[in-house]
Every structure is written in C-alpha cells, then in structure tokens.
C-alpha cells in the first residue's frame, strides 16, 4: 500500500521538533480527520522585501496525524530546507507525493 519512501519517512521522520527562535510558525488542521500540523521556519533575510533573497535555513515540524501526513511533512521539510521563500512557494502537493514515490489514492489529501 505505501512506498518504501513513505515508510522510511514515517518510521524515521526528518526535521521533527521545534525551533525555539523561529522566524515564523504555521499551524493547520484538517477538520475531516482531525490531523494537525505545526511548522517552524528559521529564515535568513537580507533585510529586503525580495523573497528571492530570503533563505529557509532550518525547518522543523510537529504533526499529529496519520503515517502519510507524517511522511508528507517530513518530505516537505527536506524539499524546503535551503530553498528561498520563492522556491518553497513553488513546491506543490504533487511534488511531495511524487518525492514519496506516490501515495495511495485515499491518502493523497494527507500531502496537502
């Protein structure tokens, strides 16, 4: 049912935890299944408003949810780390699912 990559990220999630001095924290929940996700970002800025110059130096997450949601968040953090804000905004749910070797159809919403 799940790819080896999904199982790997579920069993050993990358970048799990908190960043105490985070530049920003985002939290979202899925009312349909009750899963919640919190993401901490540490962003290095050059002081300008140009998101091409703001680099995500560190990212951590706390996800309370299913295995696919945990694996998706873990993969997302790998995809985002070291990217500029502009590059990170270009990452789609499909990119996350593809990087995990695909998700079973009923679990595609977990990558959103």
Candidates 3, 23, 30, 99; binder of ligand FES (CB under 6 A) is 30
Please tell me the distance from the alpha carbon of residue 56 to that of residue 102, in angstroms, as a whole number: 26
Please tell me the distance from the alpha carbon of residue 34 to that of residue 66, in angstroms, as a whole number: 10
- Is residue 33 flagged as an active site residue? yes
Site for ligand FES in 31-60 (CB under 6 A): 33, 35
- Is residue 66 flagged as an active site residue? no
- Contact between 43 and 86 (Cβ < 8 Å): no
**Contact flag: residue 100 with ligand FES (CB under 6 A):** no
Residue found by looking up tokens 């924290």 in the block: 25
Contact positions toward ligand FES, by CB under 6 A? 30, 33, 35, 65-66, 68-69, 107, 110
């Amino acid at each position: 049912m799940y790819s080896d990559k999904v199982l790997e990220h579920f069993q050993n999630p990358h970048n799990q935890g908190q960043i105490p001095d985070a530049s920003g924290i985002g939290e979202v929940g899925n009312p349909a299944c009750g899963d919640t996700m919190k993401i901490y970002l540490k962003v290095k800025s050059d002081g300008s408003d140009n998101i091409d110059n703001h680099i995500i130096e560190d990212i951590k997450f706390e996800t309370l949810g299913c295995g696919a949601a945990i694996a998706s968040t873990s993969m997302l953090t790998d995809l985002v780390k070291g990217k500029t804000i502009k590059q990170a905004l270009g990452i789609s749910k499909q990119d996350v699912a593809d990087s995990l070797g695909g998700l079973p159809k009923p679990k595609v919403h977990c990558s959103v």
